[in-house]
Amino acid sequence: MNYADSVLDLIGNTPLVKLNRVTEGIAATVLVKVEYLNPGGSSKDRIATRIIDAAEASGDLKPGGTIVEPTSGNTGVGLALVAQQRGYRCVFVLPDKVGEDKRNVLTAYGAEIVVTPTSVAPDSPDSYYSVSDRLTAEIPGAFKPNQYANPNGPRSHYESTGPEIWRDTEGEITHFVAGVGTGGTISGTGKYLKEVSEGGVRVIGADPEGSVYSGGTGRPYLVEGVGEDFWPTAYDPSIPDEIIAVTDAESFAMTRRLAREEGLLVGGSSGMAVQAALVAARDLPASAVVVVLLPDGGRGYLGKIFNDSWLQSYGFSEVADDRTVGDILR
């Protein structure tokens, strides 16, 4: 019989697939690593496993303990999945701007959520940060993973994502492209690929225009999960050789093209990373092999990136310009 012992054994070993249409005019081979095929639907399953393993080993997390983290997204799902399988309680602190669908995903896995007001200063006792610190201090046996500073985040990518890419490209990879959020993915995967190739792999970060990694101040952008307004310690600035800034309009247009032209229903940070990869690949020879990491799937964004009215409400009419059947029949 061929089966996994638990859903946790399905984390990692995601496949590479070649892009064939959006790469028109590009000589290099562009491959994407499809992280939405992880059981929790994103690359964050990898860091959740590694962070919890390390906290168990160090004694920071004891049997029956509680994981407390301010997160509304993929990290919450990854932590909830691993916690549930290992018998830990999970409490996630979310700002009230987080939509009901995202809240429901976390509670479906058995996590508890605490909703905090968005419109208060970070040092207010009601803020997202203050509430998670207070819960960590007051719940007996609480452990706060802190994905922005936990070295096991980048380490999980050094130990799994990097080796998988090297193995699956048989060492032929020449360029690695990933979006930068906490910085864990690019720092860990990039470090491994540089070491194993003896500097032969060029590492390229993709960043939303306005974020600190590409020289901004953290000005708001709409693409989710990437870009920052501070420098997390999970990010190693010595790893990327280059950072390419991508606008929201470019990220969303490419995200929609990936669904329609490549059959890849992915999130906005994936569109952003592919856009940056195509800019980087423009002048590369046919011998180049560019690997782009796609962090999550598109189902969580159906009401946003894939919704014309939402795009138009933010002024992205050039992205939402496909003629619909309704337009034709009118």
**Catalytic annotation, residues:** 44
Using CB under 6 A as the binding rule, whether residue 49 contacts ligand PMP is answered as no
Of the two residues 65 and 78, which places its CB atom closer to ligand PMP in the complex? 78
In the complex, minimum distance from the CB of residue 89 to ligand PMP, in angstroms, rounded to a whole number: 23
Site for ligand PMP in 81-110 (CB under 6 A): none
116-152: b (≥16 Cβ within 10 Å) or e? beeeeeeeeeebbebbbbebbeeeeebbbbbbbebbb
* Rounded CA separation 21/105 (Å): 33
Using CB under 6 A as the binding rule, whether residue 79 contacts ligand PMP is answered as no
* Rounded CA separation 64/69 (Å): 16
Q: Are 175 and 202 in contact (CB under 8 A)?
A: yes
Site string for ligand PMP, 243-282 (x = CB under 6 A): ------------------------x-x-------------
Using CB under 6 A as the binding rule, whether residue 205 contacts ligand PMP is answered as no
Using CB under 6 A as the binding rule, whether residue 179 contacts ligand PMP is answered as yes
Of the two residues 36 and 166, which places its CB atom closer to ligand PMP in the complex? 36
* Rounded CA separation 30/195 (Å): 22
* Rounded CA separation 173/166 (Å): 7
Site string for ligand PMP, 9-48 (x = CB under 6 A): ----------------------------------------
* Rounded CA separation 126/135 (Å): 12
Using CB under 6 A as the binding rule, whether residue 73 contacts ligand PMP is answered as yes
Per CB under 6 A, the list member of 136, 185, 214, 275 interacting with ligand PMP is 185
Question: Strand 16-18 vs strand 175-179: parallel, antiparallel, or unpaired?
Answer: unpaired
Interface contacts to ligand PMP, rule CB under 6 A: 73-74, 179-185, 224-226, 267, 269, 295-296
